[in-house]
Amino acid sequence: MAKTLPKTEAVVVGMGWTGSILAAELGKEGVEVVALERGRGRDLQDYYVVHDELRYGIRYELMQDLSKETISFRNHARETALPMRQLGSFLLGEGMGGSGVHWNGQTYRFLPYDFEIRSKTIEKYGEGKIKGLQLQDWGITYDELEPYFYEFEKAAGISGEENPLGGNRANAYPTPPMKETPVTARFKEAAQSLNYHPYHMPSGNLSQGYENQYGANLAACQYCGFCERFGCEYGAKSDPTVAVIPFIKEQDNVDLRNFCNVTEVLHDGTKATGVKYVDVRTKEEFIQPADMVVLTSYVMNNARLLLTSNLGRPYDPETGRGVIGKNYCYQILPGSVGFFEEEQFNTFMGAGALGATLDDFNGDNFDHSDLDFIHGGTIAINQSGNRPIQVNNVPNDTPSWGAQFKDDSVKYFTRSLSITSQGASMPTSYNYLDLDPTYKDAYGLPLLRMTYDYSDQDRNLFNYIGKVTDEIMQEMGASHINERDNLEHYDIVPYQTTHNTGGVIMGSDPETSAVNNYFQMWEAENVFVVGASAFAHNGGYNPTGTVGAFAYRAAEGMLKYREEGGSLV
C-alpha cells in the first residue's frame, strides 16, 4: 500500500538541466517544490577519480542500469522488438545532474528556420519538398525564444563567439571562446579558403572563471580531455550539479529527494493529482500529491511515463492520430577521417567542446532547390581529447586485428583528424515510440518500444554533407581520406550520439501536438513536460542549448499558471 505524503505545489520529476533549472526558478519565487531524482546525489567530490577511461568511458559508470530498465527496439513495425541489453547508440544518464554531468558541452541555439520549418520550407520550395515527412512548426519562433536562450547561457557560463549564419543575438556569450589550437586553426583556414564561414564552437567547457546568476562559481577549463562520459572534477564544465543544484539546496521551500523512481502520473482524466514513486533502496511506494506535475526526465522516460500513466493520446502510425510517442527523431552523422603521413597533432589533449564549426550547410542556409532533401547539419572539427581505448582511427585497408593493426593504431593516433557533421533528422510517420506488449522493467511496467530506421531523406542528406566534409578535409592537407560506409539501416549497437528527440512534441494545434509553447499539456493543464521530447524534429546541432531555453520558458509558464490557472495559450 503506497503511503500518501503531504501535498506540495509542484513536483519535478528528473533532476538534469531542465529539472534543476525549474526547481531553482520556481523555488526562488516561493513555490513549494518537491524535486525527485531516481539516481544518487552527486557533487564535485564524486568526480575526483573519474580519469578512468575503462570505468567511465567504456563501462558507463555514470549511466542508467539497463538490468532494471531499458528500451526495446526494432527498425520496422513488421519486426519483433528486442530489449537493448547494453548501452550503445546513445547513453542514458542517471543520478543527480542527469546527462548534464557526462555531456561534452557543445551548446548551440537551433536556427530560426527550425522553429518554423514546415511553413518556411513550403513557402520557399512548395509542398512537394516535404512529401513523406511529418513536419510541423513548433508554435514558437526563434525571436520569442532568444531571451530564454541567453538566460540558459548565463546559467551555464557558455564560452563562444557569434555565429555569422545563426539567429540574431541580443547579448554576447557570457565568457569568451576557448583557446585556438593548431587543429581548429587549420580547419578554419581550409573552410575560409572554400568561402565558408567558420567560427569557434560554443562551449560549456569554460574559457575562464565565471559566476552565474545562482551564485555558482565555475572554474576555467584545464583541457584535460575527460569531458564526454565523465564528470569534471575542476567544476569547469557546465553541469547542473555545479551550476544550479547548490542554489536549490539552499532553498527551504525545495525538497530535493534522491533514489525516487516515479512510476505513474496520477490524474482524474483532466488534471493530474500527483505522482507515485518507489524508493529504489527500500522498495516502498509513495504518493506525492501536487498542484502541478512537471516531467523533466530524458526523452524516452518522459514519453514512457505518460504512456504508462494513460495520460495523453498515444500515437497511432496507421492513422496518424494521437500525439504521445509521435515524431521520434535522432541524428544523421556524415563525416570524414583524414590521415596525415608527415604531421602529428596533440589530439590527446583538448576539451569536450574545444572546436571550430560552420553552418553554411545547416538549416536553409544553402539552396535546396535541386536537392533531394531538406535541412542539413553543422560541420565541425572537435579536439575533445582522444583516449586510447575509445579512439582508434586507421585507414580502411588496415586489417581489423594483427601486427599491422597494432602498428597503424599507434602510428595514426596522432596523425589522424576527424571532421564531423550533426545532420538534422526529419520525422516520418513510421518512426515513433510506444509501449512494448511483451517486455517489462523491474517494477512490472512495460518497456518503451522504439521503432526507427533511416529514410531516403536521411540517406540523401548523409551523402551530400559527406562530400562537403571530404572537401574540407582535402583542403586541410590530408594525405588520404577514409571512404564512408553507405547509410543503410539504423543500428542500435554502436555509439552514435545521445541526441534523441520527440515523443511529446510541442505545437499550436492540440490535434498534432502534446504540449503548447509553455510545455503545458493540452489534455492536462497542470502537467508540464519539458525537454528534447518537445522537439517536433531534430536539428543540425546538439539539443542542450535549446532544451535550456525551453526550461526558462516553461518556468515562466508555470509561474503564470500558478497565478492565473487555465490554458496559457
Distance CA 106, CA 353 (A): 5
| CA nearest to 231, candidates 355, 36, 20, 45 | 45
Residue 254 phi, psi (nearest 5): -115, 120
Distance CA 29, CA 511 (A): 33
Compute the C-alpha angle 501/506/512, nearest 5°. Answer: 105
Residue 124 phi, psi (nearest 5): -90, -35
Q: What end-to-end distance do the CA atoms of the chain give, in Å? A: 39
| CA nearest to 538, candidates 99, 105, 89, 133 | 133
> Do strands 446-451 and 71-74 pair parallel, antiparallel, or not at all (unpaired)?
parallel
> Do strands 355-358 and 377-382 pair parallel, antiparallel, or not at all (unpaired)?
antiparallel
Number of CB atoms found within 10 A of residue 372's CB: 13
Distance CA 462, CA 133 (A): 17
Could you identify the residue written with the cell 500513466?
A: 309
Question: What would you report as the CA-atom Rg of the chain, rounded to the nearest whole angstrom?
Answer: 23
Which of 102, 200, 267, 499 is catalytic? The answer is: 499
- Name every residue whose Cβ is closer than 8 Å to that of residue 470 and which is 6 or more positions away in sequence: 336, 481
- Name every residue whose Cβ is closer than 8 Å to that of residue 95 and which is 6 or more positions away in sequence: 37, 39, 40, 41, 42, 62, 101
| CA nearest to 424, candidates 364, 338, 343, 336 | 364
Residue 109 phi, psi (nearest 5): -105, 130
- Specify whether 499 is catalytic: yes
Residue 355 phi, psi (nearest 5): -165, 180
Cell triple for 298: 530524458
Residues β-bridged to residue 423: 332, 377
Distance CA 10, CA 471 (A): 52
- Which residues are known to be catalytic? 499
